[in-house]
Amino acid sequence: MREDFKSGFATLIGRPNVGKSTLMNHLIGQKIAITSNKPQTTRNRIQTVLTTEEGQIVFVDTPGIHKAKNKLGEYMVHIAERSLNEVDVVLWLVEPSTFIGAGEKHIIDQLKKVRTPVILVINKIDMVKKEELLPVIDMYRKEYDFADIVPVSARSGDNTEELVRVILKYLPYGPQFYDEDTVTDQPERQIVAELIREKALHCLDEEIPHGIAVAIDRMKMERKVMHIDATIICERDSHKGIIIGKQGSMLKKIGSTARYEIERLLDCRVNLKLWVKVQKNWRDSDYLMKNFGYRDEE
């Protein structure tokens, strides 16, 4: 084992929609976390792995910290807050604004309870002029004693190499947790379900709130083709009609865009069949949430 090799865990936190999944996908170099312009698209902790010459960072992407409205919300908040104490460094992603609202104040209150070093990552710097960044940095410095502050653009990748260097600074020396080829510990089924959900959210745009889940009913390789049967679960009969669309047009669109991404992920031909099912109030049912993969591991 190399004595100068560092390895440890970093968690990404931030209000919904600040670009956590986009940043993680950029750092890892492939699509693992789903991205959408709808908030709260990341529901499970997604572990991804970045291995460089200097060390290995295991990223734990958590659901956005927000005030819970239902059982699914409570679960997401609990997972996000608990992970702050289980990692070597916390990355708090914010947008380049001098306004610190109730959501940011809520996160600051959570951070004051942990001993983990916190790096403030100001994302979306491609949206503002350089001179507009200084007031943002000053504003946040007054609120919390950050270990480091790094401005980046998750979309263009600007300054992300510097961010990796800064993260490694706070990791302990130690062995690799995963081999160099590993990019995630998520089971394929879960990533496939997330990809289908992402495509559904994109295709449906504003028509349906994010009260949909995806269950993989079957995933089997036969004659070099991966056969996947999946069910999109929604909360209302009216939603079911919108997801299926006129003569099945919307469901076909979701299926074809999802299949393209899944083929890239699995590197093989895919035969994807989709169904739609109504499960009223599934987000308030512990049983159904566990059924759809939202398990709180101890």
Residue 145 labelled as part of a binding site: no
Residue 16 labelled as part of a binding site: yes
Helices (H), the chain: 20-28, 71-83, 102-111, 133-143, 160-169, 188-204, 237-244, 249-266, 286-291
Q: What is the DSSP letter of 212?
A: -
Residue 126 labelled as part of a binding site: yes
Residue 18 labelled as part of a binding site: yes
Asked whether the beta carbons of 230 and 187 are under 8 A apart, the reply is: no
List phi, psi (to 5°) of 184. Answer: -155, 155
Residue 19 labelled as part of a binding site: yes
Residue 278 labelled as part of a binding site: no
Residue 55 labelled as part of a binding site: no
64 CB neighbour count, 10 Å cutoff:
22
Residue 101 labelled as part of a binding site: no
Asked whether the beta carbons of 240 and 278 are under 8 A apart, the reply is: yes
Residue 21 labelled as part of a binding site: yes
Residue 187 labelled as part of a binding site: no
Residue 217 labelled as part of a binding site: no
Q: What is the DSSP letter of 187?
A: -
Residue 62 labelled as part of a binding site: yes
Residue 15 labelled as part of a binding site: yes
DSSP 233-290: EES-HHHHHHHH-GGGHHHHHHHHHHHHHHHHHHTSEEEEEEEEEE-TTGGG-HHHHH
Residue 112 labelled as part of a binding site: no
β-strand pairing of 118-122 with 148-151: parallel
Residue 20 labelled as part of a binding site: yes
Q: Which residues are annotated as a binding site?
A: 14-21, 61-65, 123-126
Q: Which residues are annotated as a binding site for GTP?
A: 14-21, 61-65, 123-126
